[in-house]
Chains A and B, each alone.
Chain A
Amino acid sequence: MPNIFSSRWVALAVSTAMLLMLVAACGGTKTIEVPGETKTIEVPGETVVVTKEVIKEVLVPGETVVVTKEVIKEVPGETVVVENEVVKVVAGPERIVTKEVAAGYIIDPTNGKVYTAPAYGGTLYYALDRVPPNADQSVGGDGAGYAVSGVVEKLGLANWGIDRSVNALNNEYLAESHLTGNLAERWSNPDPLTYIFHIRQDVNWHNKAPMNGRALTAEDVVFNFHRYTGTGSGFTEPSAKSSQLLQLKYESIEAVGNSMVIKLTEPRFDALPLFLDDASAYINAPEVIKEHGNVVDWRNLVGTGPFQLVDWIEGDSLTWERNVDYWKNDEKYPENQLPYIDRLKALLIMDSATYTAALRAGKIDYMGHNASTMLKTVDEALSLMKTNPEINSYPYTFRANNAYVFNTTQAPFDQVNVRKAMQMALDLDTINNTYWSGFADTTPQTVIGTVQKGYGVPFEDWSEDVKAGYTYNPAGAEALLDTAGYPRGSDGIRFTTTVDLNAADAQALEYAVITNGYFAEIGVDVKIESWDGAVHRDRARGQLYGGMTPFISSVPYPPLVPLAWQYTGDLQNRGGWSDATYDALVDEARKATSVAELQSATTQAAMMVAENHWYIASPIAPWYNFSQPWVQGFDGDFFFGGWQKNSLFARLWIDQNLKESMSGR
């Protein structure tokens, strides 16, 4: 006799479970956090939590006024005022700020935020979405920075103590004055061809063979610069990296006492930041390179930085441990030796759903720019903020990631009017309001972002004629295409072209689907061609793509970097541009000997790119960093210079009590 009832129960249970999953997937509403607004956070447990920030301001023009700022923290059942900030505004520019915080808390001098007092210990976890190629940037390129930053150091790095209203350090913009000495204590530039870097005398290599904690010397630094540039110490060829350092013409690099003296044969106005912070300019242990030829093997990596790389499990994780003898103290809290955490661990997680889940579950502490795990779509970010309001979110605008560059070596994009029409076909405001929920910046910028003040030209300074080319005007676009010799055919199509995409970039695909709709409106049929990363790169490099390929614009990088992307024959010249006038302007910028000369040449070159529509501008969409509430000292600021990513984690600390109460770990 079959057990009929049992079978029915099984069927019923399965059906019920599926129904419940369906209902649960649809249900649940919580408040949506809007970035930038004061937010209320409810965190389970007993730990003091910031719940709201009240700012009271009394402004009396021309008189001394008092501004009181209270940051109120609540323990369930009681309210504790932990900060009383009295701001005395004296008539005139001077502003005296006096602040008090309760015991156990600290005010960040760079932004006025309150954190629990710095504490040592603990492990900070983050997800890394790509495997570093190896441990030597000279061999593996920039990506090696994921593994080696924080272990080896450069002559300079971004000033972590900088007032965040001057530079929020939340994109990759870094003016020369925002850099500070690291292994170089100070420097001088007695003439346009000579740079003298005084190397710090209190820096020791890690206590690991073959360096065994010996002092860093100027010879060590010179050895590395010889290696990068192929100008001495037995190096006759530059190391395998197209470093910007190689764009300089060297007469000599030598150690003189405690200093490194670099002599150039041609002046270069932006040489100093390159010496201090070029992406490849890490100072590696000479003994290691002499013995092994390179530092490809992480086990040979010895540095002077706050961390030592102690484990790299192939395909799984990288682990760094605190260098207990690190020479540097916190730029914000000079009484504290860095780093705060005992251990830093990067888990290699490639799938965004997986690392987002790990963040939600408290298994990682940071997700963002320095690990290539920032969320790039507003929907994803809002979803995370909605389901996990306790997690801190930090939106930032970085660059226009959805621009398209035209293949100008062939028709139809060899005509400026066709390129201009493609730009005018796009209603960037509507795209922003629908796709990015209004969070993106749609104001067109030059290829040099306007954050580079004096180099990137703000839209309001563009001529009316150029502005018109960046204004949504489908009728005008159609007229341009008519005059360019591309009338609508009987099927309504003027011409068919393609946009190449990297198949791994889902966001780019979404954007392409949207823009293709706009292009169709003016009779341009754009087909999407998806390729894997390497093929996509190969096609872009050789101008093998049909019509358009993604491009980044409005970048915060040093001005000469994006200008090179349009320079004849440059490795990154994806559009195949070749324009003698433009090249001459870039050459002029490279040879500039003053700020005025550099600004003049770069702004002209940047405007030339805009006027010629060598690419289609796109909105600058926000990206998002996230951190757990127990990660202290972090306010969405992450940039330390070229690939100095792990330097951030040396300056953060963990509120262990809060972590235990919230995550149980």
Chain B
Amino acid sequence: MRAYAIRRLLLIIPTLFILATMVFFSVRFIPGDAIDAMESRYETYTGLDREALEKQLGLDVPIFVQYGRWWRDLILHGTLGKSLFGQWTVEEKILARLPVTIELGLLAIIISLVIALPVGVYSAIRQDTPADYVGRSLAVVGMAMPNFWLALMVIIYPAIWWGWSPPTQVIPFFEDPLGNLGVFIIPSLILGTAMSADTMRMTRTMMLEVLRQDYIRTARSKGLKEWVVITRHALKNSLIPVVTMVGMRLPILIGGSVIIENIFALPGLGRLYMLALQGRDYPVVSGINLFFAIWVVGFNLIVDLIYPILDPRVRYR
């Protein structure tokens, strides 16, 4: 197990290097640069002094020199560089936004599990009953309804009907836990509801499969109560693919919540990435991509390491 973990960790290094290099160059090859973005965003009617600004922002040297500087700063100084906009370093920006994205993502996943697991299990054990039909129908609705549409409806109509709109400023959790929850609950609900749909379907499918296994029949014939059979014997085994799916989803949520973060004015990583890309803030785009890559690879590793705990048949050598 340890050897496996070490092997996987070593494999991460070339993966990250290749990915970081690809991102570094690809973003710089997109037409339009940071100065074009500044002109576009701020509608300056006299235009900007391109030459002087390029010098100021460190964009006046060849791209390979910029690339070398980026790695030099990362390896020797442990920094991802300075944003072209504002006074912050890339890591300062990421760290400032990370708590928002993590909280949003975790809450969304918790909400999706709270909805999906009971409904999926219930749907499975009451297969082909009206309850199953309702559960499955809701899942289809959840998958079919775009979450940005739902978010816009939540933003627009309560404001018109009741003069209410969701909070527009993040309140730190430790300052006011309830206020903090008030900020995150609605976007999390929207994200979580959408996610719960396929999680519910996956749970239902896996439960149905497990419930038909011999050992479940054996458990029942032993006279175990139904809820013990369901929770102790069936659910645990049916959750392995669900855990995989959820594990894969958390890193994806960082990027996938861009629109929700934008609509609810949440200063998370998704919105930062979008703005950085629009503004051609190269160091931030490269930095976030590297961060995403570490995050995804790390999560994959963690999920893989959890498998043996859930399924004793899985062994790593």
Contacts and interface: CB of A to CB of B under 8 A. Distances in A.
B265 A133 contact: no
Contact of B30 (A317, A535, A541, A570): A535
Contact of A387 (B46, B50, B160): B160
A166 interface: no
A4 B130 contact: yes
Contacts of A132: 86
Interface in B244-297: 262-265, 267, 271-272, 275, 278-280
A533 B37 contact: yes
Consensus secondary structure, chain B interface: helix
B47 A242 contact: yes
> What is the predominant secondary structure among interface residues of chain A facing chain B?
mixed
Contact of B165 (A143, A361, A572): A361
A555 B46 CA distance: 13
A572 B130 CA distance: 66
Contact of B157 (A25, A296, A315, A538): A25
Interface in B17-43: 30-34, 36-43
B312 interface: no
A534 interface: yes
A11 B37 contact: no
Interface stretch (A32-40, A257-265, A351-359, A448-456): A351-359
B49 interface: yes
A45 interface: no
Nearest to A564: B46
Contacts of A279: 44, 46
A355 to B, nearest CB: 8
Contacts of A57: none
B168 A358 contact: yes
B52 A238 contact: yes
A606 to B, nearest CB: 16
Contacts of A533: 32, 36-37, 40-41, 278
B45 A561 contact: yes
Contacts, number: 205
A142 interface: yes
Contacts of A538: 31-33, 36
A257 to B, nearest CB: 33
A14 interface: yes
B46 A351 contact: no
B265 A348 contact: yes
Contacts of A534: 30-34, 36-37, 40, 278-280
Given A7-B131, A130-B42, A557-B45, A313 B36 contact: no
Contact of B267 (A4, A21, A348, A357): A348
Contacts of B32: 531-539
B130 A349 contact: no
A7 B164 CA distance: 32
B11 interface: no
B31 A133 contact: no
Contact of A4 (B34, B55, B86, B129): B129
A314 B88 contact: yes
Nearest to A280: B46
Nearest to A146: B42
B267 A313 contact: yes
Interface string B72-97: 00000000000001111000110011
A243 interface: yes
A418 B309 CA distance: 74
A133 B82 CA distance: 13
Contacts of A24: 157, 161
Contact of A297 (B87, B97, B161, B278): B87
Nearest to A130: B41
16 contacts: A4-B130, A6-B131, A7-B134, A10-B134, A134-B87, A142-B44, A143-B38, A297-B87, A315-B93, A315-B272, A353-B156, A502-B40, A531-B32, A537-B37, A561-B46, A570-B47
